[in-house]
Amino acid sequence: MADAAVTATDWIWGITYSVLASIIGGASKLAIRKSWIIHGKLQPSGCSSVVLPPDLDIADSESRELSTIEIMESAFSTEDDGSPKLCRISKAKAVSWFLYFCGMIGMSFLNPLCCVLAMQYANPSILAPFSGLTLVWVILFSGVVVGEHPQQSQKVACALIVFGEVLVALFGDHTNASNMDVDDVIASYLDPAFITFMIAMCSFITVLHLIIKRFPKTSLLKKMAWGSVGGAITGFQNYLKDSLTIFQATRRDGGPLPALFYLFFILAMTTGFAGLLCLSACMKRYDATYASAMFVVSFVITASSMSAVHYHTFADIGGERAIVMYLLGLCILIYGATILVKPKAAACLPDKGSDHSQISDGSKEETLLETAERRC
């Protein structure tokens, strides 16, 4: 269907698969966040690094958080129906792991599968804006599923992010590299501009890693780093695209697949899975709305920057008006991200001289931070 016109039936099927991919993506992210919340409630008091929903009732939260002594006593105590309390804890752990693996399978396999199927029925320019629906599902159901109700500022930020993503998708480069051969792909990686970009991106990801490791939990830079690192790594879509280009060129010209195809394919899988692990770690520490939105922002910005350097996006967009709208979409994405980070939250934190000024790895201190941010 590469050169065929998109019929009404094909368009409907393409949209259906794309919407299904967004639903799977939203459900998978909520499942991962829910698994971390269940895991955090089962940890001994003060030993969990999972941030629980800040709007939970304090008494209810304390009643569900088990102390070390309670965990030891649970092996010998029973419920009202005579079943051991330890069985209830084991079941909760099983549910936590089940939700986690379901979320990981959805994000790493089912969501990409639906996206590939959608591409067979419709043009990417039609399908790309629907990826922003993932944020819509997260906002609509995060309160019901994980008990985290997005604030008004988060809703506004996500609306700006979705709008910016639509502009980027509509006015971006919709061409492809189907006419390239293996030599052209190799030459594109020897381009000095692309080598400079790769060095800059690796340095940027390294800086994010250092911020995560060395900055205190109260730092807004650390919050930004956790939200951005997953999308920045996943944004290296050139490996997947170029591996498919090599596959098509080899099938067109005949002969065995070169070793470069397998290298790019492995790199595509590695970057995708590493980004997914970073997203999961971010959801362990922050609410689903923030983690999902920042992942989308960093992913789109990284992929767009890579395309501009590697595939010469601006040369193929066509027209100054399209370039202006494309850049406007990226600016709106960045502005939505700044709203999510919420720099004014630092004013609501305890003074440096207070007992809680030094935030440790405990879940209660993390919850204090999140509660202070919400009250702003």
Model pTM? Answer: 0.69
DSSP 364: H
Cβ of 9: how many Cβ atoms within 10 Å?
A: 9
Most confident of the ranges 23-37, 40-54, 88-102, 303-317: 23-37
pLDDT at 211: 94
Which pair of structure tokens corresponds to residue 30?
Answer: 């909520």
CA nearest neighbour of 174 among 252, 111, 119, 115: 119
Given pLDDT bands bounded at 50, 70 and 90, which one contains residue 366? Answer: very low
Given pLDDT bands bounded at 50, 70 and 90, which one contains residue 349? Answer: very low
pLDDT at 55: 46
Interval 186-191 mean pLDDT: 90
pLDDT at 262: 92
Distance between CA 336 and CA 163 in Å, rounded? 10
Listed in sequence order, the residues at least 6 apart from 355 whose beta carbon sits closer than 8 Å to its beta carbon are none
Count CA atoms within 13 Å of residue 125 on its CB side: 9
CA nearest neighbour of 166 among 48, 328, 6, 35: 328
Distance between CA 333 and CA 323 in Å, rounded? 16
Q: How long is the chain?
A: 376
Residue type, 94: A
pLDDT at 354: 37
Q: Which residues of 74-101 are buried (b: 16+ CB within 10 A; e: fewer)?
A: beeeeeeeeeebbeebeebeeebeebbe
Distance between CA 224 and CA 172 in Å, rounded? 26
CA nearest neighbour of 305 among 194, 162, 174, 219: 194
DSSP 84: B
In this structure, are residues 7 and 29 in contact, taking their beta carbons and an 8 Å threshold?
A: no
In this structure, are residues 127 and 154 in contact, taking their beta carbons and an 8 Å threshold?
A: no
In this structure, are residues 197 and 348 in contact, taking their beta carbons and an 8 Å threshold?
A: no
Cβ of 20: how many Cβ atoms within 10 Å?
A: 18
Given pLDDT bands bounded at 50, 70 and 90, which one contains residue 63? Answer: very low
**Residue where the block lists tokens 């700044």:** 338
Given pLDDT bands bounded at 50, 70 and 90, which one contains residue 351? Answer: very low
Farthest-apart Cα atoms in the chain, separation? 74
DSSP 176: -
Interval 146-168 mean pLDDT: 82
**One-character DSSP codes across 210-222:** HHHHHS-TT-HHH
What stretch of H or E contains 17? helix 8-42
Lowest mean pLDDT among 59-73, 211-225, 229-243, 355-369: 355-369
The percentage of residues in the chain with a pLDDT greater than 90, rounded to a whole number, is 12
Interval 118-122 mean pLDDT: 68
Residue type, 364: K
Cβ of 37: how many Cβ atoms within 10 Å?
A: 23
Mean of the per-residue pLDDT values for the chain?
74
Q: Which residues of 45-56 are buried (b: 16+ CB within 10 A; e: fewer)?
A: eeebbbbbbbeb
The residues with which 78 forms a beta bridge, in sequence order, are 84
pLDDT at 263: 93
Which pair of structure tokens corresponds to residue 352?
Answer: 């440096």
Interval 298-327 mean pLDDT: 79
Interval 102-108 mean pLDDT: 87
**One-character DSSP codes across 88-124:** HHHHHHHHHHHHHHHHHHIIIIIHHHHHHHHHTTS-H
**Residue where the block lists tokens 């039609």:** 126
In this structure, are residues 280 and 306 in contact, taking their beta carbons and an 8 Å threshold?
A: no
